[in-house]
Chain A
Amino acid sequence: MAEATVLELRQHDRTARSGGIAAADTAVECRDLVKTFAGGVVRALDGVSVAIRANEFFTLLGPSGCGKTTLLRIIAGFETQDAGSVLVHGQALDGLPPFRRPVNTVFQSYAVFPHMTVEQNIAFGLEMQRRPRQDIGRRVAEMLTLVKLDGMGKRMPAQLSGGQQQRVALARALATAPRVLLLDEPLSALDLKLRTGMQLELKRLQAEIGITFIFVTHDQHEALTMSDRIAVMNGGKILQIGTPEEIYERPSARFVADFIGETNLLEATRIGERRFRLASGETVETAEAGPAGPAGDAVTLAIRPERANLAPPESAGLAGRVEQIVYEGTDTTYYVLLASGFRFRLSEQNRDGAQPRVRPGDAVAVALPAAAIQVLVA
């Protein structure tokens, strides 16, 4: 990527923005969005409010049917909300058709126009804006360089690979310098290797161009890798908004803890400010108090597999028996059957080669450092 192109892109961006007051720090604001389908039977969005900062890589993460794509389509203008409103840089978009909105979309299925060449695809949005011909030509060339498709401008989409078509879709959406780019699971159709490459590339592009990305995915790994902030959604609601670290290390809800990465969820009762009794009778101490509540309150304790330690039997921790050992290359995962009947998942990094200290059937203790335990409302 040539330095000059980046500069030009930025400049372009700035001229495109100069019309409005560029002071507002919030790029997209959704207020109490409600959307129902099938005559009110399905609540796709159930009062969603979120403020997305300018130039942020923001991810909507959740299982299929959680409402993340609906939210994106409402911002793009393909769906109309039943209630609530959407503002982009302070301008209310409610009632505006998609072609009047300062946002562009990269679709899951690419949606590259099959009857146009790569260049014609990229030029489409610019032609719709009736830009001068020379401008369009220059901009298309810039975009081809940006997505590393130099020399492919005259090809038809059918002659391109999936990854290349994805780049065309990206270049086409970026060509008009939108203030916000919406990406609807753009990588889900690519194979793993290509996907990893595109993840880094998208991140690089976003940093270079400096515009707001709203990215929809059901892949938690993808979300953690790429995002500045993540909103975890389920059942039409946003459960938690935070940085990848916050979402992973300090999930605020049982669903978030369970959905992001692997987690052991233990039922417990509060017996002190930071002391809890497990169903099996053992007591554990936590570093944080979690949501305030009286003693006797039922809570859920979440422990990540890599944060617990395997200890010799009789030492402090939860007693159990090793049920299964799975070698996974970088890690080894131990499944320990606790006295309560809970199957605890614990993983260790294979730093010194695979040297299993225990065998299936061995009695062990699972040590839980106080800082490793996250207290959640049951």
Chain B
Amino acid sequence: MSAPLRRAGLVAPAMLTIGVLLVLPLCLMAVISTLVRGPSGGVIWSEHTLDAYVQFLFERDLMDRLVVNTDYIRIFARSFGLAAMTTALTLLVGFPTALWMAFQPASRRTLLVFVVTVPFWTNILVRSYAWVLLLRNGGVVDWTLMKLGVTTQPVSILYTPLATAIGLVYSFLPYMILPIYVSLEKLDRRLIEAAFDLGADRWRALRRVILPLAMPGIIGGAILVFVPALGAFITPEILGGGKSLMIGSLIQQQFGQSRNWPFGAALAFVLLAIVLLALMAHALRYRSGVKAPP
């Protein structure tokens, strides 16, 4: 076998996996987003139109004129806000946790990593309903606060944006902790000692040495949390009560109740485009600005 042929043979499994599982479904979605919805769901394969994308920004009034419709943009903005807040909160909780884990004795570290991954073993639905039991009126949180005398009236946490935030932070925390932990664990301890030695107290050693060197982990964690949080629909639905529509729920509705596949696909593509642009902008800035450590 010639060298190019052998090389092609070796990369074939990877290409096949990516092609069948990633590229093909994406292409299918792209095609669907340019079709016309069928009268009873599905799509009409022979009719092409960009109406689905137009619908994202405009609606037709009674006179059949296009007027700007900000409903969907507002949903997008709300989802981005929620995802950003989730990322910030998981970082706030996750970084100290990862730092603490990385400085435990080696034997205990393995156990801690294991403990962090335990929630993955249970279905997200089950975990969300568990939070319902905790947060509802008369639930564990409410009961405890009343008994402690912190509150006299039932606090209504469930079905509020706060409940959604708690649920999202809870479910995405491991995705933030693990990448940061990995980058902190391989950090040379002598660098921290050197910082102390040169007169940096704990805070300044953290800010000047530990944080910059943990940056790849922090960025990785932020992407791993932000992107799925953007499309999350189970948590806002169950803990937020589905009161405020999120991108995830919106897209899910288009394929479900609304039976408007082209619009659902178009929404998914707009989301994909925004995320990709953001990542590219970040990659460009990171490359030209601070040089990443090797």
Contacts and interface: CB of A to CB of B under 8 A. Distances in A.
B199 A99 contact: yes
A97 B196 CA distance: 8
Interface in B269-294: 290-291, 293-294
B194 A113 contact: yes
B201 interface: yes
Interface residues of B, number: 21
Given A113-B209, A124-B208, A105 B194 contact: yes
A99 B192 CA distance: 11
Interface in B177-215: 188, 190-191, 193-201, 204, 208-209, 212-213
A113 B187 CA distance: 11
Interface in B247-273: none
Contacts of A125: 198-199
A99 B196 contact: yes
A129 B190 contact: no
Given A107-B193, A113-B191, A113-B194, A129 B199 contact: yes
A114 B195 CA distance: 12
Contacts of B194: 105, 107, 111, 113, 172
B197 A104 contact: yes
A87 interface: no
A194 interface: no
Contacts of A129: 199
Contacts of A78: 193, 196-197
A76 B197 CA distance: 7
B61 to A, nearest CB: 57
Interface in A99-114: 99, 103-105, 107, 109, 111, 113-114
Contacts of A99: 196-201
A104 B200 CA distance: 12
Which of B196, B198, B294 has the most A CB atoms < 10 Å from its CB?
Answer: B198
B191 to A, nearest CB: 5
A227 B159 CA distance: 74
Contacts of B196: 77-78, 97-99
A115 B293 contact: yes
Contacts of B188: 109, 111
A23 interface: no
A279 interface: no
A103 B199 CA distance: 10
A156 interface: yes
Interface string A164-197: 0000000011001000000000000000000000
A173 B197 CA distance: 9
B197 A105 contact: yes
A111 B193 contact: yes
A339 interface: no
B198 A128 contact: yes
Nearest to B213: A115
A176 B198 contact: yes
A357 B201 CA distance: 67
Residue in B197, B212, B293 with the greatest tally of chain A CB atoms within 10 Å: B197
Interface string A115-152: 10000000011001100000000000000000000000
Contacts of A77: 196
A287 interface: no
Contacts of B193: 78, 98, 105, 107, 111
Nearest to B208: A124
B162 to A, nearest CB: 37
A350 to B, nearest CB: 44
Nearest to A130: B199
B191 A111 contact: yes
A115 B212 contact: yes
Contact of A172 (B198, B204, B213, B294): B198
Given A109-B190, A124-B208, A114 B294 contact: yes
Nearest to A169: B194
Interface in A60-116: 76-78, 97-99, 103-105, 107, 109, 111, 113-115
A1 interface: no
Nearest to B209: A113
B200 A128 contact: yes
A13 B197 CA distance: 18
B131 to A, nearest CB: 39
A42 interface: no
Contact of B213 (A76, A103, A109, A114): A114
Nearest to A107: B190
A158 B190 CA distance: 17
Kindly name the residue among B194, B195, B213, B294 whose own CB sees the greatest number of chain A CB atoms within 10 A: B194
Contacts of B197: 76, 78, 98-99, 103-105, 173
Contacts of A124: 195, 198, 200, 208
A166 B294 CA distance: 19
30 contacts: A76-B197, A77-B196, A78-B197, A97-B196, A97-B201, A98-B193, A99-B201, A104-B197, A104-B198, A105-B194, A107-B190, A111-B188, A111-B191, A111-B194, A113-B194, A114-B191, A114-B213, A115-B212, A115-B293, A124-B195, A124-B208, A128-B200, A128-B204, A129-B199, A156-B291, A158-B293, A158-B294, A172-B194, A176-B198, A176-B199
Given A78-B193, A113-B209, 8 more contacts: A98-B196, A105-B193, A107-B193, A111-B191, A113-B195, A115-B212, A129-B199, A173-B197
Interface of A: 76-78, 97-99, 103-105, 107, 109, 111, 113-115, 124-125, 128-129, 156, 158, 172-173, 176
- Counting from the closest, the 8 A-B pairs by CB-CB distance are A128-B199, A125-B198, A111-B190, A98-B196, A111-B194, A114-B293, A115-B212, A105-B197
